[in-house]
Amino acid sequence: MTNNKAEPIEEEAPADKPASAEVRNKDFVELLTEKLSWQTIRDVMTYDVNRPLMEKTTGDLADLALQRSWITREQYDELRNSDDDVTESLGQSMMERGLITQEQLTKAKSVMERTGQPLWRTLLQLKMTLPADVVQFLKSDIELPFGKRPRPVLCRYLVDEGICSEEQLDAAWREAKAQKIEFGRYLKENSMVSDEVLERGAALELGLPFDDLADVDEISTHLLRMIPSGVLLRFTALPYKVEAEQLFVAFSDPRHMEEMTKLGLMLKMPMQPVLAPRARLEELLERLVSVDTFKSAYTQDSETKEDESPAANMLTIILRGLINAEGSDIHIEPSLDSARVRYRVDGILHDFLTLDTDMARRVSARIKGLAGMEIEQRFMPQDGHLNLRIDDADRNFRIATVPSMYGETIAMRLVQSEMAFSSFQQLGMLENQRQLMTEMLNSPSGLVLTAGPVGSGKTTTLYSCLNCLECFNQNIMTIEDPVEFELSGVTQVQVQNKRGLTFSAGVRALLRQDADTLMIGEIRDEETVQIAIRAALSGTLVLSTIHANSATGAVASLMQLGVTGFSAGNALSGVVFQRLVHRICKNCREPYEADAMERKELEVEGDEPITLYRSRGCDSCFRTGYHGRIGVYEMVKIDEEMRHVIFSRPTHSELQAAATRAGMIPLKAHVRELVISGDINIKEMLHII
């Protein structure tokens, strides 16, 4: 990232100009570290890294579809051999849906000619469309040249109702295919079915109720305001009644089902989506919902109730959505003429909402105001905290803003203040791993390290260690940046670099306080590591995290920070290396028999069949096929022999051999167990090993 790029385009607020000049003259990282905590910088810099879904969709769409079992091998081959058909109908039907313009399509096609990339990838690269849209087309919208007649549920309905015969449908399908027209549209255009018949058929396909909305006349403003008007107009959707404590929301385009699912997360009460005739919906929307009526409704209210301004309402909706989706972060990212709101759920970012620029600005200003940040300051990064009551629960967010090309990017992380400390078992440790952990912690002094990449749950593991120590240890102290969870009975110190309270200064101060157990948030510099080692050698149990790619790699990392083999060997009690893997969605997983390749990967002998699981994605897992994450671990307790090997500053393979002899439980063994037990799929295993 260069300084020029980081400079936002802002016309108004001339008072900020000097600051922007200052931005230009400074190194970006320097600028960040001056204003923000390390944790915040890491959040901001890594939030885009962990995106397996995106990575795959921009990889190869057909491969993805095959992997996810959306299409069969036969269909895959057919698709592979018919790129042109797909391109033509994809572009055409995306244009018809208003997702891209004719201009964009023309531009994309000219780029395609130069690059030779398929259309869908070009559209993604030019940021003209979202991966989700393309995937959805592949799944349902374009009728791929698969020979087989599509939409079996609709067809059965048409035949059962006596609307069409099998023969008519077959003929219609052949003709639609030849003309490259979507099947449903062909039926309609050739007057074989009415709009309403198609709509009822779509409701059957989705398993949703159908309502012609004939009885709906007036809808209370209270109901209408439960969903932002922009969303209603964009999806032609209308909340129209509450029954059995459910909000009934009518919509007309079956392709918006996924958006409806997301919308459901943002409401205070459960939502029942209902399909309704488009014409009737449009009529009602035009009469009842316009941007103007909403504005006036809000203005009236905002005079009396400050908290119900549109921005406040939108912020509540966004925050509630995150909590209902069990997500961890919110990102508000401005672009040229809108801003997207994304949630991170189980480490994967999902697009949730698009705000217009004006609303995005107001929401940002509100967040900054509530978090005690300078609202007018849009050119310098800031961080802050936000405490809000959402649906009767207090929620705590850590906020960071960073100037970007089109305004300010805001990252919000939900701080789990009431986190029930996970036991080792809840963290996913196996019986023998839990036992090893307890042994490492039982020693009154020494250094226990957890290692892993950013976002692998190292700190959570340390907290669980502290929690399990509490009962038999008296003086526990921590130095952290930032303090993530509050622990009762533990003295926690927050690093404050600006005031000179660095990790190393903090550790020194805490040792003077006679700590029995000391947790150091992270070892990342020579000074801290030296004090940590000294403390561990002189009778303190020291717990910390270090960046490394394996358990033995953590030992090597210590030495790279200048620790002698002798000190490292004597101080270390044990190392835990960990990763987080995506748990398969139990709602949509399905068993299958492992093939020869998979058996080989799993190192299975003999010819007993093995059942593995894969998932195709469903509404409850946002179509990812995954739900939640689980830790996988590689652990080694340093024994006498390994200690002596470390003294000699060993090579990687010598260290690895010593760890194996010391009984190291390798990561692969743990992951393999999870594949066999059906908790994760085999792709996830190959991904991390």
Q: What residues have CB less than 8 Å from 685, skipping those under 6 apart?
A: 581, 601, 671, 672, 674, 675
Rounded to a whole number of angstroms, the minimum distance from the CB of residue 66 to Zn ion is: 18
From the centroid of its chain, how far is CA 318?
Answer: 15
Q: Which of 290, 417, 426, 587 binds Zn ion (CB under 5 A)?
A: 587
Contact status: 618 vs Zn ion (CB under 5 A): yes
Q: Does 588 bind Zn ion (CB under 5 A)?
A: yes
Q: Which is nearer to Zn ion, 276 or 621 (CB)?
A: 621
Smallest gap from Cβ 617 to Zn ion, in A, equals 6
Task: Identify whether 254 is preceded by a cis peptide bond (ω within 30 of 0).
Answer: no
Binding span for Zn ion by CB under 5 A among 10-18, 335-343, 582-590, 593-601: 582-590
With CB under 5 A, what is the number of residues at the site for Zn ion? 5
- CA–CA gap between residue 544 and residue 380 (Å, rounded): 32
Residue 584 in the binding site for Zn ion (CB under 5 A): no
What are the φ and ψ backbone dihedral angles of 251, each rounded to 5 degrees?
A: -145, 165
Stretch that binds Zn ion, among 66-74, 257-265, 554-562, 577-585 (CB under 5 A): 577-585
DSSP-derived letter for residue 306 is G
Of all residues in this chain, which one has the CB nearest to Zn ion in the complex? 585
Q: Which residue of 247, 621, 638, 655 would you call a contact of Zn ion, by CB under 5 A?
A: 621
Supply the minimum distance, in Å, between the C-beta of residue 477 and Zn ion.
43
Q: Which helix (H) or strand (E) holds 242?
A: strand 237-243
Taking the complex as a whole, how short is the minimal distance between the CB of residue 587 and Zn ion, in angstroms?
Answer: 4
Scan residues 160-189 and list those touching Zn ion (CB under 5 A). none
**Cα dihedral across residues 546, 550, 551, 553: positive or negative:** negative
| Amino acid type, 591 | P
User: Smallest gap, in angstroms, from Cβ of residue 246 to Zn ion?
Assistant: 22
Q: Nearest approach, Cβ of 620 to Zn ion (angstroms)?
A: 5
Nearer to Zn ion, 532 or 584 (CB): 584
CB of 626 to Zn ion, least distance (A): 8
Angle between helical axes of 310-324 and 257-265 (0-180°, round to 10): 100
Instruction: State which residue, 623 or 637, has the beta carbon closest to Zn ion.
Output: 623
CB closer to Zn ion out of 68 and 579 = 68
- Write the CB contacts of 98 (distance below 8 Å, at least 6 apart in sequence): none
β-pairing verdict for 611-615 and 589-593: antiparallel
Of 273 and 625, which CB lies nearer to Zn ion in the complex structure?
Answer: 625
**The CA-based dihedral angle spanning residues 33, 39, 45, 47, taken in that order and rounded to the nearest 10 degrees:** -160
Determine the 3-state secondary structure of 541 from DSSP: strand
Separation CA 304–CA 309 (nearest Å): 10
Say whether residue 585 binds Zn ion (CB under 5 A): yes
Beta-strand pair 237-243/246-251:
antiparallel
Please say which residue, 136 or 502, places its beta carbon nearer to Zn ion.
Answer: 136
Compute the distance between CA of residue 9 and CA of residue 25 in angstroms, rounded to an integer. 17
Stretch that binds Zn ion, among 349-357, 371-379, 487-495, 611-619 (CB under 5 A): 611-619
CA 606 centroid distance within chain: 40
Which range, of 274-282, 369-377, 443-451, 613-621, touches Zn ion by CB under 5 A? 613-621
CB of 618 to Zn ion, least distance (A): 4
In whole angstroms, the minimum distance from the beta carbon of 64 to Zn ion comes to: 16
Binding site for Zn ion (CB under 5 A): 585, 587-588, 618, 621
